Amino acid sequence: YYWFDSHQKKGIYKGKLRPKRMTATNSYIGHVFYFTRVGTQEEVHRITVIKHENSYILPPTEEAKQSEFYTQLIERRTFYDDYFKRKGVPWLSSYARPPPILFMYNKEKTDPIGTIYSISSEHGFWHCIPDASLNVDDQ
């Protein structure tokens, strides 16, 4: 289970965290969460939310460190760290999402970002906000 440490006698229950699963919560810097074994108050790990850290990994057993799941978590963590070092902001999107594509114009192939098209139209520029100085027929 995982709990928010409210600095009271007992923390505030946040939910179950099953093996090889993830959860999410909104929080602020300095908030403390702790994790207990099922059906007990035995604390197995504690985290304090810190600035620029959006992902926390509970320490696995030695056996679990060899699993593909854990390897992928470390890969994800490395990506997040590298992204922050390069951009100065945390990655907030889905990890390993496909690159964005411009699907609405070119049906035959996917255009790379930065592709520029010149489009001509017989219609001029228009405003979608009604002009209060004109009557409905003149708009």
CA 114 to chain centroid: 25
Q: How far is CA 31 from CA 47, 102, 128, in A?
A: 8, 41, 46
pLDDT in tens, 70-110: 999 999 999 999 999 999 998 888 888 776 665 566 667 77
User: Which residue is it, tokens 């994800």?
Assistant: 76
How far is residue 65's CA from residue 78's CA, in Å, rounded to a whole number?
Answer: 16
pLDDT in tens, 13-68: 999 988 888 888 889 999 999 999 888 889 999 999 999 888 899 988 899 899 99
DSSP string, 81-97: HHHHHHHSS---S-TTP
